[in-house]
Amino acid sequence: MSQGGNVYRIHIPTGAMTFIQPNHPDSTELRYNWNAAIAADPFNAEGLYFGSQFVHHSTDRGQSWTILSPDLTTNDPEKQKQTESGGLTTDATNAENHTTLLCITPHPKRAQEIWASSDDGMLHRTVNGGGAWESLGSRLKGLPEGSWIPQVRISPHNPDEVYVVANNYRRNDWAPYLYRTRDGGAKWERIIDGDDVLGHAQCVLQDPVEPNLLWCGTEQGLWWSYNGGDSWQRWTDGVPAVPVRDIVLQERESDLVLGTFGRGVYVIDGLEVVRAYVRAGADETFGGAACTMFPPDPGVMAEWRRPAGERFPADGYWSADNKGRGARVHCYFNPDSLEAVGKGEAFLLHVLDAGGDTVRTMEPEPEAGMDWMRWDMRGTGTFWPSRRKRDKDARPGGGFPVEPGTYRMVLELKGDSTSAIWGETNVEVMADPRRSAASDVRDAQRAHMEEVYGVVNRADAVFEELKRMRRAGDAVSDRMSHAKRALAKGDTTYKPVKTLADSLDGEWTALDERYFTPEGFNGYDAEVRIQDRVWHAMSYADGGMEAPGANAQDALKALDRAVIAAEQHLERIRGGVFAEWRTAVESTDWPVFGEFEE
pLDDT, residue 318, reads 66
> Which pLDDT tens digit goes with each residue over 28-57?
999 999 999 999 999 999 999 999 999 999
Confidence band, pLDDT 50/70/90 cuts, at residue 282: confident
Confidence band, pLDDT 50/70/90 cuts, at residue 317: low
Q: Which residue has the higher pLDDT, 89 or 67?
A: 67
Please tell me the pTM assigned to this model.
0.77
Is the separation of the CB atoms in 513 and 525 below 8 Å? Answer: no
27 — alpha (psi -120 to 50), left (phi > 0) or beta?
left
Torsion 264-269-273-276 (CA) sign? positive
Confidence band, pLDDT 50/70/90 cuts, at residue 483: confident
Q: Which amino acid is at 571?
A: E
Torsion 517-522-528-533 (CA) sign? positive
Confidence band, pLDDT 50/70/90 cuts, at residue 591: low
Distance, in Å, from the CA atom of 196 to the CA atom of 215, rounded to the nearest integer, reads 13
The mean pLDDT of 527-553, rounded to a whole number, is 91
Confidence band, pLDDT 50/70/90 cuts, at residue 596: very low
Query: Taking the CA atoms of the chain, what radius of gyration do you get in angstroms?
Result: 35
Distance, in Å, from the CA atom of 508 to the CA atom of 502, rounded to the nearest integer, reads 10
pLDDT surpasses 60 at 540: yes
User: Alpha helix locations (H) across 298-438?
Assistant: 335-339
Average pLDDT score over the chain: 91
DSSP 307: P
DSSP line for 491-522: --TTHHHHHHHHHHHHHHHHHHHHHSPPTT--
pLDDT surpasses 80 at 462: yes
pLDDT, residue 263, reads 86
Number of neighbouring beta carbons within 10 Å of residue 445: 23
Count H helices, E strands: the chain? 7, 31
Torsion 92-96-99-104 (CA) sign? positive
Lowest mean pLDDT of 254-268, 463-477, 536-550, name the range. Answer: 536-550
